[in-house]
Amino acid sequence: MVLEFPFFRKLLKKDSIINGYKILDFIGEGRFGRCYLVEKDSRKYILKELKRKYLKKKPNTVPHEREILMSLGHPNIPKLVDFIKSPKIYGYILEYIEGKTAEDIIFGDNQKFSYSEIYNIGLKLLSILEYVHGKNIVHRDIRIPNVIINGEDVYLIDFGLARYQSNRYHFSDDFSRIGDFLLYLYYSNYEVTSKKSQPWYNELSLNEDEMIFLKKLMGFLPTYEDISSVKNDFIHIYKNKSGYAKVNP
């Protein structure tokens, strides 16, 4: 089958109608596509417009991502609502999630995360990932732009790089990304005391258990075998620290 894709040059015009969805605003652009806030029947959605260059280079990604999105049914993962192919656009309609990305909160709002907040956010994210891995899916792109926080709620978005677990794609691929995500939260509280930059394990004030946990995630030590082991260690290490709140993941 030969797929033909629309050109990807100009932004879609505000107030234009695509398959019944009204373009409200341009949200942002990534490696593989652009995202817009759209509306239909008084409800808001996200339109993910896939890039023509990317689609021509990797056409098999289109049904792959669609299949993965359709297989998921978690309240903290946006649902796939519609699939669009027209002369103007090729992409998805996704459930709209209220909130801000962790990236916007850290670098836009300059929020400093307390240990309690790090624990609550981390545990909820690990619980989502436990569900994803239970579906035999590796997300492969857990980053601060792909985690939305809205009050006490945490959401994992963007499954464009997600793949089914195989000899090529491993669940452990997600562990280092979880570690990297947690380090961003830790660094939101970091006070620079030296002009010389040092590795995170020298700069951050971490106890021995936290250090070992993060080093295992990041691959400095033999890593975990599965997400349940990661989650159990996370709970064991962090739940008794002073000020940590009790949550129901």
Catalytically annotated residues: 141
Contacts of 223 (CB under 8 A, 6+ apart): 172, 175, 176, 216, 217
Under a CB-based contact definition with an 8 Å cutoff, are residues 83 and 66 in contact? Answer: yes
Determine the longest span between alpha carbons in the chain, in angstroms.
59
100 belongs to an annotated ligand binding site: no
Query: What's the CA gap between 97 and 148, in Å, rounded?
Result: 8
122: phi > 0 → left, psi -120 to 50 → alpha, else beta; which? Answer: alpha
Please enumerate, by residue number, every residue annotated as part of a binding site for ATP. Answer: 48
